[in-house]
Amino acid sequence: MRWTWLLLIPIAVVGGAWWVHQRSTPSWRANAVGSPDAPVTVVEFTSYLCQPCQRELPTVERVLESYVKDGKVRYEVQDIPQGSLEEMQVAEAADCAGLQHAYMSYHQALFSSQNLWRGLGGNELTVFLTNLASQVGLNAASFAACLYSGKMLHQVLRGQQLANAVGVSQLPAYLILGKLYEGPLSYARWQQILNTALEQASR
């Protein structure tokens, strides 16, 4: 019911929420890759138990290679847990990895190992997430300290608040220059959207 109501929010509110998000958070974020000075920022809303989100990964990797590496686009991910405590902890873990500048590699590893951590909880899940951090080359002690502290919970909650504000009703979803796109996008569609956004940003 909440999602249905949010879809009635006017596009001006969507754009306004995006602007406030851009202005109220620092230029460096644990969950973002690409230059802070890029003319276009993509905000992806995803969930680690979302199958369409997992299938979208190869396309997103092409976008990162084609648009983010050369500084044209900044790519930010907001993990939106769908109600389970395990997903909340996994989302926090991804942001802890981001503090070591390894958000995307850990993000991808979480999707790849989804069948291994799904259903785990408590200390068992914490141990798995810490071991996964070691496997992708992170400092396990620093990662574990971050995860135990709960210091990245605010980042996860901020993502949920932004998703609510812009009316996300389907994952994955993407916020680009104040416009919301929902559902998986083909690479050709990505090119169309980003090339148009870059042209608009240059005016």
Q: What are phi and psi of 159, to 5 degrees?
A: -65, -40
Question: So what's the pLDDT on residue 29?
Answer: 61
Share of the chain above pLDDT 90, in %: 77
Kindly report, residue by residue over 21-52, the tens digit of the pLDDT.
443 343 446 789 999 999 999 999 999 999 99
pLDDT at position 60, please? 95
Cβ-based neighbour number of residue 108 at 10 Å: 16
- SS3 of 126-182: the string is HHHHHHHHHHCCCCHHHHHHHHHHCCCHHHHHHHHHHHHHHCCCCCCEEEECCEEEE
Task: Indicate the average pLDDT of the chain.
Answer: 86
Look up the pTM and report it.
Answer: 0.83
pLDDT at 28: 42
CATH topology for the 2-201 domain: Glutaredoxin (3.40.30)
- Residue ranges of domains in the chain: 2-201
In tens, the pLDDT along 124-176 reads: 999 999 999 999 999 999 999 999 999 999 989 999 999 999 999 999 999 99
